[in-house]
Structures are given as C-alpha cells and as structure tokens.
Amino acid sequence: MKLRRMEESLAKVVCVVLLGIIVAVGSVEGNTWCVARSSSGFGAMKSGMDFACSHGADCGPIRPGGSCFNPNTIQNHASYAFDSYYQKNGKSAGSCNFNGAATIAVTDPSMHSLLIKIFISQINKIIF
C-alpha cells in the first residue's frame, strides 16, 4: 500500500515536470499563430472560417479527405483557416480577430496538441 502511494506521488511529480517541458518546447520565441478562441460559439467560428477561406486562406487541407480534416471539429478547422489567413496577411494583428472569435497564440498549436497526446499516453502507462 505504501509503495503504491509512492508510485502515485512520483507519477504526479513526473506529470508536472513533463507539463512544464511541453509548455517550454511548444513556445518558440518570436513565432505567433492565430487560433479560434475556445469560448467562441459555433456560429462565430463558422462565420470567421467562411470569411478566411473566401479571402485567401488555404482551406483545402481541412476539407473532407484533406490532410488536416481530422480532428473534425469546428474549433480545429476554424483555427487552421484563421492561421492560414493570418500567415498570408503577414501576421498583422488586424488579420487575427474574426469578430472576436480568434486570438494570437505564442505556443505552436500543432506542436502543443501532439505533445499533449504523447504526454497522456505516457502517463497512462505509468499509472495503469
């Protein structure tokens, strides 16, 4: 029983350390991305995504069968479209708003989600 509690405590410490590493690795100084705000509603994200896709964003990869179609959520698709538009417009602050549905991030969203998946997988192996 005591050994089990020690293992659980060690697993928690490892989780905290790995989370710190994930945040540090995911941040690249000077780089920014435009992502959908998680608090934005479906309609705001859809409207912003439609605007971005019809005004120069490369939205082919988020269409069915595209390389970035999955995960198939409005937030992921909107973030992809928002960032494509933002990058194509020279990362100007005004190109990442979409009526408040977007925000500028300093952590690479693609790297962050990949690292989180790896992190969760490793923690599950430790705990279970």
Instruction: Give the span between the Cα atoms of 18 and 54, in whole angstroms.
Output: 40
**Positive or negative CA dihedral for 125, 126, 127, 128?**
positive
Which distant-in-sequence residues (6+ apart) come within 8 Å of 72 by Cβ? none
Average pLDDT, the chain: 78
**Cα separations (Å) of 71 from 3, 44, 64?**
39, 19, 11
pTM above 0.85, yes or no: no
Q: With contact defined as beta carbons under 8 Å apart, do 76 and 40 qualify?
A: no
Look at residue 121 and tell me whether its pLDDT is greater than 60. no
pLDDT tens digits, 14-46? 444 444 444 444 444 479 999 999 999 999 999
pLDDT tens digits, 75-110? 999 999 999 999 999 999 799 999 999 999 998 777
pLDDT tens digits, 4-17? 565 555 445 444 44
DSSP for 41-98 reads: -HHHHHHHHHHHHHTT---GGGSTTSTT--S--HHHHHHHHHHHHHHHTTT-GGGS-T
Instruction: Give the span between the Cα atoms of 93 and 102, in whole angstroms.
Output: 11
